[in-house]
Amino acid sequence: MEILRAVAAADLPFDVPEPLTAVARFGDRAAVAVSWIDGESLPEGIGDPAAFGLLLETLREVEISPELKAVLHTPHRYADGLGWAEILNEIVARLPTRWRETVRQRLDTLLALEEVPARLVHGDLGGSNVHFGRNGKLTGVVDWDMAILSDPAIDAALVAAWHGWDVLRAATDEDTYRRAWAWNDAVGVGHLHAAFGGTAMSNVDGFVDSVVAWLEEHR
Kindly report the pTM of this predicted structure: 0.95
CB atoms within 10 A of CB 129: 19
Residues in CB range of 34: below 8 A, 6 or more apart: 4, 17, 18, 19, 20
pLDDT for the residue numbered 144: 97
Residues in CB range of 55: below 8 A, 6 or more apart: 14, 125, 130, 138, 141, 159
User: For the chain, which domains are there?
Assistant: 2-217 (3.90.1200.10)
Q: Are 150 and 196 in contact (CB under 8 A)?
A: yes
Q: Are 117 and 43 in contact (CB under 8 A)?
A: no
pLDDT for the residue numbered 126: 84
Q: What is the mean pLDDT of each run of 10 residues along the chain (219 residues)?
A: 96 95 94 95 95 97 97 96 96 97 98 96 94 94 97 98 97 98 97 94 96 95
CB atoms within 10 A of CB 24: 10
